Amino acid sequence: MKAVFYHKPDSRYDDVTGERYHFPHQYLSRVEAVVGDWMVYYGPLPRKKGRYYTGIAKILKVRPDHSTSHHFYADLVEYIDFDRPVEYKEGGGFERRLVQEDGTINNGYKVQAVRKLEESEFVAIVNAGLSTPDDWPDRYDEPLDRNDGQDTGTAFRDIGNGQPEIIGAPYKRPVSVQLSHRKWRDAKFKQHIRIAYDRTCAFTGLRLINGKGRPEVEAAHIRPVEMGGNDWIRNGIALSGTVHWMFDRGLLSMSDDFTILRSRHLNHDISHLLNKDMKAKVPREVYLQPHPEYMKWHRKEIFKE
């Protein structure tokens, strides 16, 4: 069973998108029923009216909050942002118990922070949120592996029975399986990062476009997926190939104010490659900027001072 989790960016709850969801005891049974399955983030966004579905994650486990009585955490994995915020009333709505047939809103249901979600409703939300093709898809010159998909890219397409297929994901498998496909998730993460950073390296300011019109900038995970990271845009940054290599090996990092940090293990002075003010150029909107928790993790676990 799937669920919708209400989340507000400036909430008093101890949430970190894609990492943990903090909630009171009244929702415990509903959250426990979704362990091992998917949830959809839902709530308000800065400077936008209304409420939106913004991403998905899988619930790994539920544990008590030992510092706050009658509260719990849902630990999350496999988070990924939607291509765009999906307004909850779009196209007549997605949740039948929330947006009724005559278009009226069930306000009693609307205020519930955790709501059960039918499989068909989940599929419809995912289809709306993850269907934007990449303007700059990677080039695939090798023959397609028919066991690995019939096409490449980042969008959904309908394969019948109400099941959209993620292009590039395992062919004709359930949506829940497709959403975990690493090759597709990497392509989608890159798509989101390139848009947020306008195809520009945050550390060098370079915006290189190859002869085919594709950006050369790469999408770097601050905390790698294989080390507990996720595909949230705030766990990413746009870096050119060489700088990405140095960042992943701890030769470069950044402080919470986005000052670029250089390791003493660097054998050569690379200051001429970096932004003159030694500040990473990040998006203006806070909800797109690298999250302090991930930058702190990178400095502690990866960076070689």
User: pLDDT for 239-291, tens place per residue?
Assistant: 999 999 999 999 999 999 999 999 999 888 888 999 999 999 999 999 999 99
Listed range (34-48, 86-100, 140-154, 189-203) with the worst mean pLDDT:
140-154
User: Any idea which residue has 């966004």 for tokens?
Assistant: 45
Show the domains of the chain with their CATH numbers: 2-129 (3.10.590.10), 132-182 (no CATH), 197-301 (no CATH)
174 band by pLDDT with thresholds 50, 70 and 90: confident
User: Any idea which residue has 């746009």 for tokens?
Assistant: 238
Q: Which pLDDT does position 173 carry in this prediction?
A: 64
Q: Which pLDDT does position 151 carry in this prediction?
A: 44
* pLDDT score of 157 more than 90: no
- What single-letter DSSP state applies at residue 272? G
User: Any idea which residue has 């799937």 for tokens?
Assistant: 2
Average pLDDT, the chain: 88
The Cα–Cα gap between 137 and 141 comes to 12
Q: Which pLDDT does position 153 carry in this prediction?
A: 52
C-alpha closest to that of 82 among 150, 154, 23, 153: 154
* pLDDT score of 56 more than 60: yes
Q: Which pLDDT does position 305 carry in this prediction?
A: 85
Q: Which pLDDT does position 298 carry in this prediction?
A: 98
Inter-CA distances, 213 with 196, 203, 209, 242, Å: 18, 22, 6, 20
Please compute the mean of the pLDDT values over residues 190-214 and round it to a whole number: 90
Query: Regarding predicted confidence, which is higher, 207 or 172?
Result: 207
Taking phi over 0 as left and psi of -120 to 50 as alpha, with beta for the rest, 47 belongs to: left
Q: What is the number of other CB atoms lying within 10 angstroms of the CB of residue 183? A: 14
Q: Which pLDDT does position 134 carry in this prediction?
A: 82
- What single-letter DSSP state applies at residue 244? H
Q: What percent of the chain has pLDDT over 70?
A: 88
58 band by pLDDT with thresholds 50, 70 and 90: very high
164 band by pLDDT with thresholds 50, 70 and 90: very low
Number of H helices, E strands in the chain: 7, 12
In three state form, how does the secondary structure of 94-123 look?
CCCCCECCCCCECHHHHCCCEEEECHHHHH
